[in-house]
Amino acid sequence: MEIRVRLRPWLESRLNEGTIDGLSWIDREKGIFKIPWKHHSKHTWTEADAAIFKDWAVVTGRYRAGIDNPDWPMWKTRLRCALNKAPDIQEVRQRHNLRCEEPFKVYRFISKTESLWRANATRNACMIFDGLYSLPKLGFSGLSGTAARAEYGVMPTATGKRTALIVQRVPGVNASTRASVFVSQSLICCLLIYLVVRFILILLVS
């Protein structure tokens, strides 16, 4: 039976206890820590190298000693998925070291405010890309809503509980140039958003 356990409080308690080999703080003030990440197939691997994964399986009810068979690779996969899904934990990829004798990954606890900011930034960027992807399918040739209405005569019409769009092309309007400009400007905006977000995250981690 699976037990719902919040990942961050559990990790923080294990880090503060210092009872799991390889799980330790790198910078406690910044919330940066490392998790041992040795591959199961490595000849130097021992059960102690995967103690963190077993512990997570135990507290979440995924492993019952004496009842369930050990599944080290699956335990590792489950913790990795939990880390990836956690809104208040960020992977610091540039600080990983997976080629040393004792491989590890680095993560960072983030505040609720930063977590919400990251989620909003990601959602806004996705909305921009989704919009660019959807416009050609709608037949608007990459035009903005205003330009599309000008060229195609898009008019909302209420039909019962829904609103339908009546699209009628307006003759004599060539929008290929405006379409190219719109797409170029949108791509530049996406790039700027990405660079700003990446720069801020680097400052927060460093």
pLDDT digits (tens, 9 = 90+) for 54-89: 999 999 999 999 999 999 999 999 999 999 999 999
User: What CATH code would you report for 7-110?
Assistant: 1.10.10.10
C-alpha to C-alpha distance for 192 and 39, rounded to whole angstroms: 38
Query: Taking a C-beta distance cutoff of 8 angstroms, is the pair 118, 112 a contact?
Result: no
The answer, yes or no, to whether residue 25 has pLDDT greater than 50, is: yes
pLDDT value of residue 82 = 96
Question: Would you kindly state where each structural domain of the chain is located, as residue ranges?
Answer: 7-110, 114-205
- Band (36; pLDDT cuts 50, 70, 90): very high
The answer, yes or no, to whether residue 175 has pLDDT greater than 70, is: no
Least confident of 7-16, 23-32, 65-74, 137-146: 137-146
Give the SS3 label for residue 131: helix
The answer, yes or no, to whether residue 6 has pLDDT greater than 70, is: yes
- Band (206; pLDDT cuts 50, 70, 90): low
The answer, yes or no, to whether residue 31 has pLDDT greater than 70, is: yes
pLDDT value of residue 177 = 56
Buried b (16+ CB within 10 A) or exposed e, 164-185: eeeeeeeeeeebeebbeebbee
Torsion sign across C-alpha atoms 55, 61, 62, 65: positive
User: Mean pLDDT across the chain, nearest whole number?
Assistant: 78
- Reported in sequence order, the residue ranges of the chain that DSSP labels E, i.e. its strands, are 24-27, 32-36, 89-91, 104-109, 155-159, 162-166
Cα 189 from chain centroid (whole Å): 20
